[in-house]
Amino acid sequence: MRYQWHFQVILDNLPVLIAGIQLTVAVSALSMAIAIVAGMAVALARLSSHRALRWAAYAYTEFFRDTPLLMQVIWVFYALPLLTGINLSRFAAGTLAVSSNLTAFLAEIYRAGITSVSRGQEEAALAIGMRRSQVYRRIILPQAVTRVIPPLGSMWVSLFKDTSILSVIAVAELMYKARLVAVDTFRPLEIYTAVAVIYYLLAYPQSLGVNYLYGRFRVRE
């Protein structure tokens, strides 16, 4: 028996899918903004001379990098309220889980960028009387940030797709909306095919932008 495709169902439910896209973008943008700042703090903690701070940052990055994001999302939404008594909305719990996971990866990217700056520059700056904080602010971090921009772009593209995991806690992003429409219309093949095309159309231009950044900053280096 041949399957009869009916793509009209996509047009009929396009407003629902667009609403899902909007929430996907919102979660991605907010999570990335949080992780960009928090990742730098964790990276500096990893490079700190204080052993306790360094080991705490190490434990954080290894936990979130070495456990599945799906488990982290479920734990934040269901277990965290039981431990703290704080009830988070689905959006807040999803954003917290995703940004915490992303922070660990960005921290390692930042740390790699910072340590890629030659040690001699730091030693020369200290030798002429600059404080260590001034060395980081004026010499090391400007160079490191330039070097980590391309991999940050790659993480953004991955993040945009990874938000689909939040559908397990009913965050109304694109994948969750697609599942509702598929159940309602009994047309899962058409709906999920359309969602795959939507993700591709949204992510591909971003991938081209990342490739451009790689090329541009490689020429600078």
The answer to whether 142 and 79 are in contact (CB under 8 A) is: no
Tokens of 173: 């992003």
Query: Is residue 173 within a helix (H) or strand (E), and if so which, with residue range?
Result: none
Q: What CA–CA distance (Å, rounded) separates 61 from 54?
A: 11
Burial 107-140 (b: 16+ CB within 10 A, else e): bbbbbebbeebeeeebeebeeeebeeeebbeebb
The answer to whether 122 and 139 are in contact (CB under 8 A) is: yes
Whether 2 maps to a domain, the answer reads no
Residue 132 has pLDDT above 60, yes or no: yes
Residue 58 has pLDDT above 60, yes or no: yes
Cα 105–Cα 109–Cα 110 angle in degrees, nearest 5: 115
Whether 38 maps to a domain, the answer reads yes
Whether 3 maps to a domain, the answer reads no
Instruction: Tell me the pLDDT tens digit for each residue of 139-158.
Output: 887 777 778 888 888 899 88
Q: What CA–CA distance (Å, rounded) separates 205 from 162?
A: 17
Q: Which pTM was predicted?
A: 0.88
**Which pLDDT score, from 0 to 100, does residue 33 have?**
95
In angstroms, the Cα distances linking 192 to 9, 175, 186, 198 are: 12, 8, 12, 10
Residue 49 has pLDDT above 90, yes or no: no
Residue 54 CA to chain centroid, in angstroms?
23
Q: What residue numbers bound the domain in which 22 lies?
A: 8-220
Whether 204 maps to a domain, the answer reads yes
**Which pLDDT score, from 0 to 100, does residue 171 have?**
94
Q: What CA–CA distance (Å, rounded) separates 65 from 104?
A: 6
| CATH code assigned at 143 | 1.10.3720.10
Side-chain half-sphere of 155: how many Cα atoms within 13 Å? 24
Q: How many domains does the chain have?
A: 1
Tokens of 112: 């790699």
**Where residue 220 falls among pLDDT bands split at 50, 70, 90?**
low
In angstroms, the Cα distances linking 99 to 24, 28, 53, 131, 192 are: 14, 9, 21, 32, 26
